[in-house]
Amino acid sequence: MLPGCTPLHWAVIGGSAEACTILVHAGTKQELMMKDKAGFTPIQLASDRGHRRIATFLSNAQRANSNYLIDKLCSGNLGSTAYAPILFSVIIFQIVLFINSVLTGE
């Protein structure tokens, strides 16, 4: 028995793809990256134990749930400097347009 395992860890250890599917759909994004006391995530356990189908499923689920920027945009938690790169890009674009119009004489 491995200490500190979540139900998803146990489903992976047992090689139950059906249980993994149910737990991933019912759980949160953080459970995919949660480590047991030995430091293994469910994806690492699946790979180490040769459960390729489960490892692929968990990897795809993690990739589908890793829309970090979209999550921040939708939640409104952009922070104080979040719009700075966008504004900087707009300013640079305006400068390039201005220089282009001066050089072409339009």
Mean pLDDT of 1-21: 86
Q: Which residues contact 25 (CB under 8 A, 6 or more apart)?
A: none
Q: Which residue has the higher pLDDT, 16 or 30?
A: 16
Quote the pLDDT of residue 2: 59
Euclidean distance between CA atoms 10 and 72, whole angstroms: 31
Model confidence band, residue 99 (pLDDT cutoffs 50, 70, 90) = very high
Spans of all domains in the chain = 1-66, 79-106
Mean pLDDT of 55-71: 77
Mean pLDDT of 32-57: 90
Q: Are 2 and 37 in contact (CB under 8 A)?
A: yes
**Type of residue numbered 76:** G
Quote the pLDDT of residue 74: 56
**Taking the alpha carbons of 27, 29, 31, 32 in that order, is the dihedral positive or negative?**
positive
Q: Which fold has domain 1-66?
A: 1.25.40
Model confidence band, residue 69 (pLDDT cutoffs 50, 70, 90) = low
